Amino acid sequence: MKTNILLAVDDKPDNLYVLKSLIAQHLPGCKVLTALSAEEGLATMAESDLDGVLIDVQMPGMSGIEMCRQLKSDERTAHMPVILITAHSAEAKLRAEGLEAGADDFLTKPIDNIELVAKIKVMLRIKQAQNELRDMNARLEQLVDERTQTLRESEGKYRALFEKEKNAIFVHDPETMLILDANPAMSSTYGYSYEGLIGMNCLELSAEVEESLKAAASADEDGRFKVDLRWHKKKDGTVFPLELDGYSAVLNGKTVGFTVINDITDRRKAEEMLRESETKFRTLFEASSDAVMLLNERIFFGCNPATLAMFNCATQKEFCDKHPADLSPPTQPDGTDSRTLADEHIATAMEAGSHRFEWMHRRMSGEDFYADVTLSAIKLGDRGVLQALVRDITERKRDEEELAEHREHLEERVRDRTEELRKVVNLMAGRENRMVELKRAIKNLRLQIEEAGMTPVADERSEK
């Protein structure tokens, strides 16, 4: 158990002796140091780790109030609880001065034992609480230092990623729309120097200001928005199509807008080539009663009307941009994960050029159906994609299941009939065996009659 150390300061040794004796008697867990003057008390405090101080107010030289004031003004001892001991006739003014000096409590002479013990216990609780608070503050300061260091490291990593990102990124003030920061890719994309970008209104980069404002206005509660714009303009006046991906974040206590710019010129060219290629396939798509769909990187990006009808989709947009597993139950009838198995089928088709298999699909209405799927690798423009020919074979599977049930029923009837015939055959065989034994017995009986010199009675049935 920790020993609490107290300091008692009084210019009269007898008072110190009484005070020390009372504390030793009633608070055996306390150790009392003594000082005969305020100056000696301050020196003792500088050398000892104390839990509280009891100071007599009226002392020659430096008074107890002045000693208290010095303790409370020193950062090293300001937390120390102080009890001032006053004469019974002490004026209210004296007590007020003590409180102004920072005293935590008062004891009046002659000292009451019960009051002394109670006030020292309170003083020790105050000191313990202060110690805990100081420890907590120290831990908090350490935690703040650690978090600050972590934040600096995170900011360093963020800056490195920000600088190396291949897509153009800029940070702007949502209220003024002024650019606050930009990465090197932003400068190379638009042809401006870093200094030329900072402070520029970001709307100056857009050839479609109204569309840009609409995109920003469409942001969700987290400030996120994503939209394709037809044209942004570079410093030299050239324009290009782009995709804006924006979101809000708090940077140095202020909400700012982050915008990532993805130049989609190549994608637009690919889409144009795809449209040209789709025109060639359009007649086939429109005329085919089977669902025909196109996949790129495991994602559907085109389909014919029969596909929309098969999956209960109203538009191609509702069907496209989905993985085959998104249009299937989570698991196939054999229990295999649909996404994993679909990726395996796609990989097989890409490697072999063609692959056929059966698949359980799910319509938008939630109804599952069996399909016969043929994946074929084809060329659209200069890129390779997969064409999926899908036929609904639910009726066929149902007929197969009914046929299998009918076959099983017939097989069961054949087994039952075979068992019945077996029993009949066994029964007939038993009767024939008994007739043979009966004839043998009759024959032996006739031989015995003849040996006895008797003539047996003729029995036409027995002769047969």
What are the CA-CA distances from residue 305 to residues 155, 301, 311 (Å)?
51, 14, 10
- What element of type H or E holds 3? none
Tell me what percent of the residues of the chain surpass a pLDDT of 90.
Answer: 23
pLDDT of amino acid 280: 65
> Is pLDDT above 80 for 287?
no
In the prediction, which pLDDT does 463 show?
47
Q: CB burial class (10 A; 0-12, 13-18, 19+) of residue 2?
A: exposed
Mean pLDDT value across residues 282-291: 72
pLDDT at 426: 74
pLDDT averaged over the chain? 83
Q: Does one domain contain both 112 and 9?
A: yes
Terminal CA-CA length for the chain = 124
- Residue 285 within any structural domain of the chain: no
In-domain check, residue 155: no
Q: What is the pLDDT of residue 331?
A: 95
- Which helix (H) or strand (E) element contains residue 66? helix 64-73
Is residue 210 located within the same domain as residue 111?
Answer: no
The pLDDT value recorded for residue 129 is 84
Q: Which range scores top for mean pLDDT: 109-113, 163-167, 180-184, 221-225?
A: 180-184
Per-residue pLDDT, 33: 92
Name residue 219's amino acid: A
Query: What mean pLDDT do residues 183-207 have?
Result: 87
Query: 225 or 349, which is more confident?
Result: 349
Checking if the pLDDT of 194 tops 50, the result is yes
386 beta partners: 295, 377
182: its two tokens: 């930009």
Same-domain pairing of 79 and 108: yes
pLDDT on residue 96: 86
Give tens-digit pLDDT for 360-379. 999 999 999 999 999 999 88
416 and 388 in one domain?
Answer: no
Average pLDDT over residues 323-329: 94
Query: From CA 41, how far away is CA 35, in angstroms rounded?
Result: 5
Do 10 and 132 fall into the same domain? yes
CB under 8 Å to 179, separation ≥6 — which residues? 170, 171, 172, 197, 198, 199, 200, 201, 202
Reference 77, options 69, 85, 65, 88; nearest CA is 69
Cis peptide before 110 (omega within 30 of 0): yes
Same domain for 131 and 217, yes or no, is: no
Distances in Å between the Cα of 252 and the Cα atoms of 152, 168, 416 are 12, 22, 86
**Dist CA 288 CA 268 (whole Å):** 28
pLDDT for the residue 311: 93
How much is the average pLDDT of 304-326?
90
Within this chain, do residues 127 and 34 fall inside the same structural domain, yes or no?
Answer: yes
Domain end, chosen from 214, 246, 263, is at 263
Judged against a pLDDT cut of 90, whether residue 390 lies above it is answered with yes
Q: Which amino acid is at 33?
A: L
Percent pLDDT > 70 in the chain is 86
Residue 207 lies in a domain: yes
For residues 302 and 319, what is the distance between their CA atoms, to the nearest angstrom?
8
The full DSSP string for 31-71 is EEEEESSHHHHHHHHHHS--SEEEEES--SSS-HHHHHHHH
Cα 252 from chain centroid? 26
Q: Which range is least confidently modeled, 150-159, 310-319, 417-426, 453-462? A: 453-462
What are the tens digits of pLDDT across the range 3-48? 888 999 999 998 899 888 988 888 888 899 999 999 999 998 888 8
- Residue position matching structure tokens 């150390």: 5
- What confidence tens digit (pLDDT) does each residue in 122-176 have? 888 888 888 888 788 878 877 777 776 765 665 666 666 677 788 888 888 888 8
Across 260-269, 303-312, 420-429, the highest mean pLDDT is recorded for 303-312
pLDDT at 152: 62
Task: Please report where in the chains the tokens 């299941």 appear, as a residue.
Answer: 401
d(CA 136, CA 160): 35
Distances (CA, A) of 27 to 35, 80, 109, 265, 355: 20, 19, 19, 85, 91
- What are phi and psi for residue 148, nearest 5 degrees? -65, -45
> Sheet of 30-35: strands edge to edge?
30-35, 4-9, 52-56, 82-86, 105-108
List beta partners, residue 53. Answer: 7, 82
In a domain? residue 297? yes
The helix (H) or strand (E) run that includes residue 455 is none
Least confident of 118-127, 213-222, 244-253, 289-298: 213-222
For residue 121, being part of any structural domain is answered with: yes
pLDDT of residue 284: 64
Higher pLDDT, 38 or 207: 38
Residue pair 359/328 in contact by the 8 Å Cβ criterion: yes
Answer yes or no: is 142 within a domain: no
pTM of the model: 0.35
Total number of domains in the chain: 4
Q: Helix 13-26 crosses helix 113-164 at what angle (to 10 degrees)?
A: 80
Task: Give the domain extent around 460.
Answer: 411-464
**Among candidate residues 88, 115, 136, the one where a domain is terminated:** 136
SS3 assignment, position 224: coil
* C-beta of residue 224 within 8 angstroms of C-beta of residue 249: no
pLDDT at position 316 is 85
The reply to whether 103 falls in a domain is: yes
Q: Is residue 197 part of a domain?
A: yes
Does 462 score more than 50 pLDDT?
A: no
Band (396; pLDDT cuts 50, 70, 90) = confident
pLDDT tens, position by position, 51-97: 899 999 989 989 999 999 999 998 888 888 999 998 766 677 888 88
Query: Of the candidates 336, 363, 392, which is a domain's last residue?
Result: 392
Per-residue confidence at 278, pLDDT binned at 50, 70, 90? low
Residue with more model confidence, 151 or 423: 423
The span from the CA of 92 to the CA of 85, in Å, is 14
